[in-house]
Structure formats: C-alpha cells, structure tokens
A and B are shown apart, each in its own frame.
Chain A
Amino acid sequence: MQPIACEGVLSPWEPGVFSLALFTVLVLAFVASQLFIASWLGEKKTTPEKARPYESGIIPTGTARLRYPVPFYLVAIFFLVFDVEGAYIFSWAVACEELGWAGWLQMTFFIGLLLVGLVYIWKNGGLDWGPTSKKE
C-alpha cells in the first residue's frame, strides 16, 4: 500500500480537492435553480378541497395517526437485528484471514446464536404475517 502524503491534502487549491469543491458548488446551484424554477413556474392554487386527503372521493373518517399494530414493529425490529448482525459478519469476512481460527470459532458461535434466535421467533410465530384467520 502507498503511504498517504498528508501535506496539503486539505488545501482547497490542491487539484483533487478543488475540482471536488467546484463540483459540489455546481451541483448545489443546479439543484437550487431547479427547485426554484419548479416552484416559481409551477401552478400553486390551493383550495380546501384540494388540501383534503384523497380517499376515493369521500371525505375521510377519523385520523390517520393511529397506533400501529404490533406486527409492523416486530417486522421492523427483526429486520434491524438481523441487518446489523450482517454488518458484523461482513467486517469479520473482510479480515477473516488475519483473525484466524479463533475468529472463525467466535463467528460460528455468533452465527449459531443468531440461528437459535431465528428459530425462536419462527416458533413463536413472530414471522407469521397476514390476517389471524391464516395464522390459526
């Protein structure tokens, strides 16, 4: 690997940094101009009817800010748990050779534990999705 030369790396006049900075400014300006043109040229005519939520042409009933049922959370939590663990496994996989057998053993234990967890939620019905009639 090449050692990185630290000298002047953050100077705005360094060719790489300068083009990056310029590019960033151009992008921001472009985006800003697009947003401005769209909002300036676009039609804005609000009426109470238009501001109302669309629900098949009927005035909606009640609020949409209800307590969400638990299954939605469960799915989200399971996803997070297994997704974050994926991050550990990947980082282990990158350094697999350096970590050697000890690392492998630890990872096997970790994955095994994950699988136990997966079986546990599976058995407990945490992965069942759909109406209650289907779950029974």
Chain B
Amino acid sequence: MGTNQQEGMNERFLDSVDVLVNWARKYSLWPMFFGLSCCFVEEATALTSRYDLARFGAEVLRASPRQADLLIVSGTVFKKIAPVVLRLYEQMAEPKWVISMGSCSNCGGMYDVYSVVQGVDQILPVDVYIPGCPPRPEAVMQGLVMLQEKIAAEERPARSIFHLPGGTQGTQRPLRVDGLTKSRDPRGPGMGGIPIRGSSVVPPKFPDSRTDLMWTSPARRVELNDGDRALADVLKDRFGDAVEPAPQSSDMLTVQVREERLKDVLRFLKTEAAPRYQRLDDLTAVDESARRERDRYPDFSLVYHLLSFEAASKLRIKVPLHGEAPTTRSVTDLWPSANWYEREVFDLFGIRFEGHPNLRRILLPHDWEGHPLRKSYAGRATEMTPYTLEDARKCQPFDGGVYVKQDGGEHRLILNMGPHHVSTHGLLRYVVALEGEEITGLEMDLGYHHRGVEKIGERQSWHQFIPYCARVDYLAGAANDLPYVLAVEALADIRVPERAQVIRVMLSELFRLSNHLVWFATYAHDVGAMTPNFYAFREREMILDIVELITGGRLHPSWFRLGGVAADLPDGWKEAVDQFVNIFPSRLQEYERLIRENPIFKARTMGIGRISLENAMDWGVTGPNLRACGLDWDLRKKMPYSGYENFQFEVPIAEGGDCYARYLVRVEEMRQSLKIIEQAAANMPSGRTMTDDYRYVLPKRTDMLQDIESLIHHFVNVTRGPKIPRGEAYMSCEIPRGEQGYYVVSDGLGAAYRMRIRGPGFANVQVMPQLAVGESIADLIAIIGSVDYILPDIDR
C-alpha cells in the first residue's frame, strides 16, 4: 500500500511539474534568426508592428543557434545548404523544436528540381508544418500556437529533468523516409502508372508533343535602326566571314561570330566601335542538342549580350560551339565581370574557358556530378535518389582556406560570414581573411540558394512559368514578372492594351517602394538603428494591402499575364492608392530625417565601400548602385518599356559611389516611384486589361463564357499551353535592385527551349571584393547592406 501511495504521489508531483515546465516553455520559445528564402520575409514580418509575434511569447530572433530552441525552417532547403541546416539544428540548445514553414520546406513545393531537397523532414524531425507559398504572417502565428499546444499536450519533461527514466520533450518525430513514411511522387502515391504531367514535352525525349500540330505566325521581326545596320556593316568589313549578322531578329541586332575571332570582335566592340559596347550585360549558353531541327544548329551556342551606354542599345553575339565538352577562350581580360558568368556556364553546361583564372563550379556543390542545364540531364529531384541525413552529414561545403589564399600571413584569421548570418541578407557565404580588423581578402561562395529556375523554365508551359518569376526576387514581387512577360510578348508579337501597361507600371512601382522600404529598415538596422524597422514595415504593410486588394496576393502575386494582367482593377483601388500617396511622403520624411543627418549613420557610411564609375561599368553593376557612382542610367528612361516614357519622373543620381551615396539614391527613388504611382492612378486609361488577340493568352473569363473561339483558346492555353513561335528575345527591366533580364529561347514548343535570367545581384555582388578589401570587418556589414542584393536572383 505504502509503495503504491508513494508512486501515486510521485506521479502527481511529476505531472504538476510537467504542467509548470510546459507552461513556462511554451511562452518563452526562442526562434533562431534563420531564413532560407521568401518565407523568411513573411516570418520576419510576423515580428513587426502589425502582427507582433511577441504577444505569443516568441520574440527577437536569436542570431546564434546557442541561444535558440526553435528552428523555423522558412523557405527552400537546397542540397547545398542542407548540411548547414543540420549543423545549426544540432548546435541548438536542448530541448528544441522545429517548424517547417512553407511548401518548399514541407515537400519541395514548386521546386521539384535537382538542387532542392524535397522536404526538410528527410534530414530533420519536424513538429509543425505551415502550408503556403509563402504562408502569411498570420500562418506563422498559427504555427507557433500549434507548437505551443503540442508542447502542452504531448510533452512530459519532468522525468528527464529529474534524471528519471522515461518522459518526452522537444522534437520526437521520426525522420521521413521516401517510399516508407512519405511519398515524393509528384502524382501522389499510387499513381505510378501514369506519366508525370508535362513530361511528354520535356527534353530530351518528348515524342508526342501536341504543339507540333499547332500553327503560329512567325516570331516578331523588328526593323533594325540605322546605327545597328551600320554596325553590322562595319563588323562585316572588318572581320569578313567570321561574323554573320542574323537576317532577322525579334529584338536587337544579332551577330553570329566564329569562335576563333570572338575575342577580337568583342575587343573591337568594347573599345573601338561606334558606339562602344562597354558593358557585358549577360553571358550564357544554350545546349542545342534537343532542337526540333537538329541539323540547323551547332551543339552549343554561347550568347553574349552587350550594352552600349552611349547609344542606349543592345547587341547579341552568338558563338556556335561543337563537341561534347567544347572549349573556348575566356574573356575575363576584356570584362572582369565575365569571371562568374563563365564559371556559371562551365558549371551548368560543362563548357570550358581557356585562360580563366579560376574555372570551377560556382552554383552547385563542388562534388556535384553532371551539368544540369544540358538537355540530357534530368531536371527533377524526384527522379534522383532522395536526399537523406547521411548525405547532409557527408556533403560538407569546402573549407574556407580553399577560397582565400593565405600567402604572406599565416597569422591571418579566416572567417566565414554566412551562409547563415544575420547580415548577409540571404544564403551567401563570405570567406574573409582578416589582419586584425582589416579585410585583406574576400571571396564569396554562392549557390546556396540555387533553385534551378532556369531548368524549370524549360518544362513549365509559358503561362505556368509566371509564378516562378516573382520568386526570383522575392521582395520585388510583380516587378519581376515584367521582363519575362515583355520578353515573350516581344517574341510572339503580343500587343498589350494601354490600361494593362499602366497597371503593370503601377504595381511594379508599388513593389519598388515596398522593396526599398524593407531595404531602408534593414540597412538602418545593419548600422545600428533599430527604430526605422518598426515604421518602415508599417508603411510596407499599407503597400501590401493595396497589392492584396488588387491581386489577391502579397509577396508573389503572379498577376501579370502574357498580353496583359490577370483581372481588371477592383472597386476601391483608387481610394486605397490615393490614401497611400497622401500619407506616405510625410511618413517617409519623418523617419528618413532620423537617418540622413544622423552622425553615426554618416560615420558608418560616408567614404565606405567606394567604387569608381569605370569599375562599376566594367563589372556590369546596375541599378541604384550604378547611379550612386554618378551615371544617369535608368532603363525606364533610356530604353523605355511598358509606357514609362509617358510618366514624369527624375532619375536620382549621387556622386562618390560609397554607401551613403547608395543610400541617397534609393531614398530619392522612393519619392520618384511615388510620383509615378500617383500619375498612374490619376491617369489610369480605360479599356481592356488583356489583349483581344487570344492566340497565346488566357482569354478574359467573360469572353470565354460567351464565344466558342475564346473558349477553345482558353482550353488550349490553360491545359497544354500556347505554342510560342521559334525564335529568341531578350528583355531587361529596371527592377528595384537593378537590371533584370530574361532571355527566352523558343523552339516552337509549349515550353521555353532555354530560359535565361540575368539577375542584377549576380553582377552587383561580384564586385564586393573591390568595395570591401582594405576596409574593416565592421564596415563589411555596412557595405553588404548598401549593395542591396537578394539571393534567388544571384543563384537563381
């Protein structure tokens, strides 16, 4: 009797301790400052004034795993970052919990692609899954509350605390194993008998693509202007047979150059031609081996897009290459910026560049096999063996010493900043060599955010690809969609009604404001000012409310369509925009004044991270970073698109090219964007929001319900997707961070043959050593923040 009573009392005591400890734990969770991609923006938004996660007892993201007990895996888990995720989890304090936030982290989401782990639960135990792409801040709160409920209902920590056997605490869920406890099959479990949707049109084997049976008009053909024609003649005179201007083009002068004379042609164009093409806008390749008319194409084509500041014109150079693994010459001595571009081509296509100083993989892990953008490479992660815990333990990133040479100073400290770091603003790894506090060497390791979106572009239909655009720069939302739809519209000669153009401009500018507000808040935070965070996010929520009112989405509206926009503006949009336009200038004035003349801010930014204008042009720096060097170059003015020529606005520039100049440019850009939004709202034209030629586009719903032809187009374009005429087009736009370009190549099929994205960040970040070497380590934070890059558009 005595022992039973004793045990009963013990149990009651332990139960009450359980309740007490669980109560304490659930209201004092410490999430780690850990974000992988888009989802993290919404996670961070949950902390700001409107949502105020602190009400639920989880506040202030901890920068180090040592101080955290809650890991919110927010975003895409890449194979390259998975070992880091695992390490951070293992370094966290006990007991610890894991929330998987967003579709990517739950199951790979939209990114069924070679570089993405199809669900973080293959390497980490997960307590709570939050669905959504991305989940809203409210969903983060809901996830947190669910975790609290789980702690209170399921955990029995007392026994473990008192060193008794039994009891549970922290994450106990087992890892998921593909085929046993989870299914990665995109068709769902048990549907193995049917082909994966869309696989019949995906290279290399696409036997029965029905688009072959469809007719389209040929690609758009543009008349070249006198300057381009003269240049073509000059090239022909000078280089003879080695150059061959293309007879027709959908966008710009295109010249085919033989590989032997490539460097001479490029050198001529850069230094002697009139106008000079000073900037290497983009360098990429196309694997031609899966073309429908195979004999008309070489094995690979290298594609150089050049830009002339003098004439505000672009030029495309195509170089045919032959062989299984061809070799060509590096142009890094002409354009230093070619360094990363050539490494990328080597990484993804296996084309080698002679004379390249450092030709190794850039995006994929160093131990990766194969070159994913080759047509023979299977693109889907679900076609590969599942990524497991053993892989995450084994595939470690290279040691920092591999990147930074230690010559001349064995007493230098080599420090890894990132990939998981509060101030790297994404998964970018800086390997810094330090002598005292001074940076003596800086190298970057990227690819931790490589989402393989270019490969995905080759299998999604032309409409299906639109949702991927916004995720290429997740803070610029709809502004990302613009270069893609413009490129396809240029290729297929789709005319966009004026109202749709103005709506597109208005949304793009709203997103520019939203992006710059986030930048302003985080940059002020980077150099030590906490307050702007609370204010800037308040105004950003106003913008997102407008976006939500119009599009129904927040971060990724996916609302632009080929030929127009998804729907007309809803009732009440004008009042919402007007209200914002009235409120915003004084609000911005109010908190921007705190920073602009702040002596600490000035001391941290003035004269720090300088880059000269020549260097910036040579390295392909674009956007506010270029304008901060004093060059008046903005695509919206210089090569207007989508009707920007009808708006009155100024292009802010600043002198000096330092952090402070970049700050001034962006803040003034906010004011100019607001002017554009105001004009767009005041002068919104009436009329259609979707072109009335329905061959390639999704017809208006009312038309679809009324006439049979629209219904047929709707059916075909929604299901198998339109067939875009064979050809190619490159279109770049001034998105918030710089010039983002889409180079779309069509082989006359229902999906792009090649989808190349030129992200502004790739070039802007490549100059980082120029900005940072010689400065002190503390300044590196200020410099990184001032460049304002975002990882998915660097790594894509």
Interface residues of A (CB under 8 A from B): 40-41, 43, 45, 47, 49-50, 52, 54-62, 64, 66-69, 71-72, 130-133
Contact = CB atoms under 8 A, between A and B. Distances in A.
Nearest to B83: A57
Contacts of B396: 59
B436 A58 contact: no
A130 B437 contact: yes
B657 interface: no
B435 A56 contact: no
Given A61-B416, A131-B437, A131-B775, A54 B94 contact: no
B87 interface: yes
B66 interface: yes
B64 interface: yes
Given A54-B64, A56-B418, A130-B437, 8 more contacts: A41-B161, A55-B416, A56-B429, A58-B400, A58-B429, A64-B413, A66-B413, A130-B438
B110 interface: no
Nearest to B161: A41
B188 to A, nearest CB: 34
Interface string B676-694: 0000000000000000000
Nearest to B439: A131
- Chain A CB within 10 Å, residue with most, of B396, B415, B417, B775: B415
Nearest to B422: A56
Contacts of B407: none
B499 interface: no
A133 B397 CA distance: 32
A133 B775 contact: yes
Contacts of B721: none
Contacts of B420: 56-57
A54 B84 CA distance: 11
A100 B776 CA distance: 50
A54 B414 contact: no
B91 A50 contact: yes
Interface string B158-170: 0011110000000
B88 A57 contact: yes
B414 A132 contact: no
B399 interface: yes
A71 to B, nearest CB: 6
B436 A55 contact: no
B399 A59 contact: yes
A66 B411 contact: yes
Nearest to A53: B91
Given A61-B401, A62-B414, A131 B421 contact: no
5 contacts: A41-B161, A56-B417, A56-B424, A62-B401, A133-B775
B60 interface: no
Interface in B395-442: 396-397, 399-401, 411-421, 424, 429, 435-439
Contacts of A62: 401, 413-414
B93 interface: yes
B436 A69 contact: yes
Interface of B: 64-66, 84-85, 87-88, 90-91, 93-95, 160-163, 396-397, 399-401, 411-421, 424, 429, 435-439, 774-776, 779
Contacts of B415: 55
B24 to A, nearest CB: 12
A54 B62 CA distance: 13
B22 to A, nearest CB: 15
Contacts of A64: 413
A57 B90 contact: no
Contacts of B95: 43
A50 B416 contact: no
Contacts of B88: 57
B84 A130 contact: no
Contact of A61 (B87, B93, B399): B399
Contacts of B438: 130-132
Contacts of A58: 84, 397, 400, 416, 419, 429
A69 B434 CA distance: 10
Contacts, number: 78
A50 B88 CA distance: 9
Contacts of B775: 131, 133
Which 8 pairs, one residue from A and one from B, show the smallest C-beta to C-beta distance?
Answer: A69-B436, A57-B84, A43-B94, A61-B400, A49-B90, A131-B438, A57-B420, A133-B774
Contacts of B412: 66
A50 B65 CA distance: 10
A50 B90 contact: yes
Contacts of B160: 43
B76 to A, nearest CB: 16
A125 B397 CA distance: 42
Contact of A45 (B66, B94, B429): B94
Contacts of B91: 49-50, 52, 54
Contact of B435 (A55, A61, A69, A130): A69
Nearest to A62: B414
A52 B774 CA distance: 30
Nearest to A67: B411
A135 B459 CA distance: 56
A53 to B, nearest CB: 9
B400 A57 contact: no
A103 to B, nearest CB: 41
B436 A57 contact: no
A18 B437 CA distance: 53
A62 to B, nearest CB: 6
A71 B436 contact: yes
B87 A57 contact: yes
Contacts of A52: 87, 91
Nearest to A64: B413
Given A58-B84, A69-B436, A43 B418 contact: no
A62 B439 CA distance: 17
A131 B774 CA distance: 6
A61 B413 CA distance: 8
Contact of B65 (A54, A61, A66, A67): A54
A132 B87 CA distance: 36
Contacts of A43: 93-95, 160
Contact of B774 (A49, A60, A69, A132): A132
Nearest to B607: A134
A72 B437 CA distance: 10
A65 to B, nearest CB: 10
B36 to A, nearest CB: 12
Nearest to B87: A57
Nearest to A68: B436
A57 B419 contact: yes
Contacts of B429: 56, 58
B661 to A, nearest CB: 18
Contacts of A61: 399-401, 414, 416
A126 B221 CA distance: 69
A69 to B, nearest CB: 4
A56 B436 contact: no
Contacts of A57: 84-85, 87-88, 419-420
Contacts of A130: 437-438, 776
Contacts of A71: 436
A63 to B, nearest CB: 9
Nearest to B608: A134
Contacts of B162: 41
B429 to A, nearest CB: 7
B774 A56 contact: no
In the complex, which of the residues B84, B163, B413 has the most CB atoms of chain A within 10 Å of its own CB atom?
A: B413
A61 to B, nearest CB: 4
A57 B419 CA distance: 7
A48 to B, nearest CB: 9
A83 B424 CA distance: 39
Nearest to A40: B163
Nearest to B415: A55
A132 to B, nearest CB: 6
Contacts of A133: 774-775
A76 to B, nearest CB: 13
A36 B45 CA distance: 40
Among A41, A43, A47, A57, find the residue whose CB has the most chain B CB atoms closer than 10 A. Answer: A57
